[in-house]
A and B are shown apart, each in its own frame.
Chain A
Amino acid sequence: MFSFCTDPSVLSTPAWFACYFTTGKLMLFYASFGTVLLLLAITAPVALGFGFAGAAAARARFAPLSWLGKLYIAMVRGVPDIVFFLFFVIALDQGFEYLRHKVKCPDWTDPIRQGSDFIVCDAAKLPLSTAPQVWHEVYGFSLAVLTFSIVFGAFAANVLYGAMRAVPHAQLETAEAYGMTHRQTFWRILIPQMWVYALPGLSNLWMVLIKATPLLFLLGVEDIVYWARELGGAKTARFSDYPHADWRVWYFLGLLVFYLLFTRISEIALAKLMARLTHGQATVGGEAQRKAA
């Protein structure tokens, strides 16, 4: 990166670190922080959407739809989330390939599951084996995002379902008395008032989501944990211009600090948001704000 990095004498000075920290491999490490942030940026709204749909379905008057919503909410009870992560990544992948297989190769007669193999025709592979490497990575990442969204959507559905029930029932009755339909009551009365009840649960969920991002590593995405393990391991002079001993403990210390800062900043921002949302609300928090002012 720097011009002095070509000078061998610099290798015993602190400038060594300037050279080390700007190698191409380290750049990939820095970029993987972007992967984590991208995952959060996509997962959070999608999971909220899943959660909203789940909570709305659980409230539906059409019984099978309500059962479906409640089943989705109950799905995450009692079972570790990591089990769902490991399960959905394979299950979704096989599901997509199975569907494509049925559509693209209708005259295929062999069974798909043969013993311990899952065999679909070549045209149904996702992504196609001829596709460039980048598509394989994009597909892997999308599967991870979808998995995260399904699992955290179930948690969000639980929070939103609780928040919808926390809205005072008199509000809904008043809306009915004014002649609003069920749908109007839902969209104009229930939803706008629900958020202040949902925010504590959702901010807790956001913190948990941040702390779940290292699990990307288990889903086969080259994230910060993957690179910290790769780069931190002992490097000999034979394979690298920057030999060093086992530095994984320092790399993971760096990740630890990154997550501590990230959760701390989120905590402060969410506290500010909560203060703004409770302003003027007829709750204990709103009343305390009024007295303090």
Chain B
Amino acid sequence: MSCWDVVADYGLRSLGIGERLLPRDDFTLCKQAVLIGSGMIWNVYFGVVALVSGFFLATALAVGKASRHWLPRKLSEWFIFLFRGSPLFIQFFFAYFLFLSLKSVAPVFAPFSSAWLGALVVLFFNTAAYSGEIFYGALLSVPKGDVEAADAYGFSGWPRFRRIVWPTMLRLAWPAYTNEAIFLFHATTLVFFSGFPAFQQRGDALYYANYFADKTFNPFVAYPILAGYFIVLTLLIIWLFGAINRRLNRHLPQARRSKVRYRPNLLR
């Protein structure tokens, strides 16, 4: 059985396509790498969807927190406090059991108790809160002169925000936002270790890595494979966000451009 057969059997195992049974003996390096890679589909799915949708809510939260009106300000402050002040792990558990009890009241909530939607909602709120705080900090440090110049040109309200404040906010927040994106992808590994069950053993990369480590009682193969996948994923994120950063900074003189340097400061 060559490695290509293994890829055909297990390559999409995490989506329920291919071989049903997980390998029970003869844990070759190929099988471990393929199955863990198959699990990465879930990590990428959770990370990408939460990041893209969270971006919009984060902008709204930042604007709300900087608002002069008390209602949006208090709402955003509480939302950000709630999701930044508690562990994501507990949020997963709480949300799972909450959706479970809501399901018995209204069947609309049935899909929320499975990971693909329920965990995604939690990750969406979580990353929106963390990014919202980053964007809020950037919003406060938008240079006064930029806003005054916009006023002088007759910009106000939505056009001023859309064309002047928002791009500058993004530009200032981008290095920190890159860091947040990396940690969001790392956080996706928690999904199947919290309350959310892996339906028919369709788990993420860590789920399979843990499966192999438990079966072989040897952590020195499965976890380094997983680490390798994540290092590649992290490099891809840095590359993509660096490209966006260059675009955001394209109007500035070379010396004033801020570079995305990955500082793993665990700034959350």
Q: Is B252's CB within 8 Å of the partner chain A?
A: no
Cβ-defined contact, A246 with B189, below 8 A? no
Cβ-defined contact, A76 with B264, below 8 A? yes
Complex contacts, B89 vs chain A, CB 8 Å:
211, 214-215, 217, 225
Q: Is B17's CB within 8 Å of the partner chain A?
A: no
Q: Is A205's CB within 8 Å of the partner chain B?
A: yes
Q: Mark B69-102, 1 if CB is under 8 A from A, else 0.
A: 0000000000001101111111101100110110
Q: What's the Cα separation between A285 and B25 when bound, in Å?
A: 61
Nearest Cβ on chain A to B188's Cβ, whole angstroms: 8
Nearest Cβ on chain B to A222's Cβ, whole angstroms: 16
Q: Is B223's CB within 8 Å of the partner chain A?
A: yes
Q: What's the Cα separation between A162 and B189 when bound, in Å?
A: 28
Nearest Cβ on chain B to A101's Cβ, whole angstroms: 15
Q: What's the Cα separation between A159 and B231 when bound, in Å?
A: 21
With A118-B217, A214-B90, A249-B100 known as contacts, the answer to whether A260 contacts B81 (CB < 8 A) is yes
Q: Which one of A80-88, A103-111, A186-194, A269-277 is at the interface?
A: A80-88
Q: What's the Cα separation between A254 and B193 when bound, in Å?
A: 20
Cβ-defined contact, A77 with B213, below 8 A? no
With A79-B227, A80-B189, A259-B85 known as contacts, the answer to whether A91 contacts B219 (CB < 8 A) is yes
Q: Is B255's CB within 8 Å of the partner chain A?
A: no
Nearest Cβ on chain A to B134's Cβ, whole angstroms: 13
Q: Mark B240-268, 1 if CB is under 8 A from A, else 0.
A: 00000000000000000000001011111
Complex contacts, B231 vs chain A, CB 8 Å:
77-79
Among residues 183 to 227 in chain B, which have CB atoms less than 8 Å away from a CB atom of chain A?
Answer: 186-187, 189-190, 193, 206, 209-210, 213, 215-220, 223, 226-227
Q: What's the Cα separation between A236 and B196 when bound, in Å?
A: 24
* CB-contact partner of A253 in B81, B94, B186, B262, under 8 A: B94
Q: What's the Cα separation between A18 and B87 when bound, in Å?
A: 29
Q: What's the Cα separation between A217 and B190 when bound, in Å?
A: 12
Cβ-defined contact, A259 with B218, below 8 A? no
Cβ-defined contact, A77 with B189, below 8 A? no
Q: Is B38's CB within 8 Å of the partner chain A?
A: no
* CB-contact partner of B267 in A90, A204, A211, A213, under 8 A: A204
Interface centre among A87, A208, A213, A253 (most CB of B within 10 A): A87
Q: What's the Cα separation between A204 and B179 when bound, in Å?
A: 14
Q: What's the Cα separation between A201 and B234 when bound, in Å?
A: 22
Complex contacts, B52 vs chain A, CB 8 Å:
none
Cβ-defined contact, A252 with B94, below 8 A? yes
With A80-B206, A264-B85 known as contacts, the answer to whether A208 contacts B217 (CB < 8 A) is no
Count of B interface residues, CB-CB < 8 Å: 47
Complex contacts, B190 vs chain A, CB 8 Å:
82
Interface centre among B85, B193, B265 (most CB of A within 10 A): B85
Among residues 206 to 220 in chain A, which have CB atoms less than 8 Å away from a CB atom of chain B?
Answer: 207-208, 210-215, 217-218
Q: Is B30's CB within 8 Å of the partner chain A?
A: no
Q: Is B230's CB within 8 Å of the partner chain A?
A: yes
Cβ-defined contact, A246 with B100, below 8 A? yes
Complex contacts, B227 vs chain A, CB 8 Å:
78-79, 83
Complex contacts, A113 vs chain B, CB 8 Å:
218
Interface centre among A86, A253, A264 (most CB of B within 10 A): A86
Q: What's the Cα separation between A155 and B265 when bound, in Å?
A: 7
With A77-B234, A211-B87, A249-B94 known as contacts, the answer to whether A158 contacts B265 (CB < 8 A) is yes
- Could you name 6 residue pairs across A and B whose Cβ atoms are closer than 8 Å? A83-B227, A155-B266, A211-B89, A213-B87, A256-B94, A259-B85
Which 7 residue pairs across A and B have the least CB separation, nearest first?
A: A80-B186, A78-B234, A249-B97, A252-B94, A211-B87, A90-B219, A78-B231
Extra A-B contacts (19), CB below 8 Å, given A80-B186, A213-B87: A76-B266, A77-B231, A77-B262, A78-B230, A78-B264, A79-B230, A81-B186, A87-B219, A155-B266, A162-B265, A204-B267, A208-B266, A249-B98, A252-B97, A255-B94, A260-B81, A260-B85, A263-B84, A264-B85
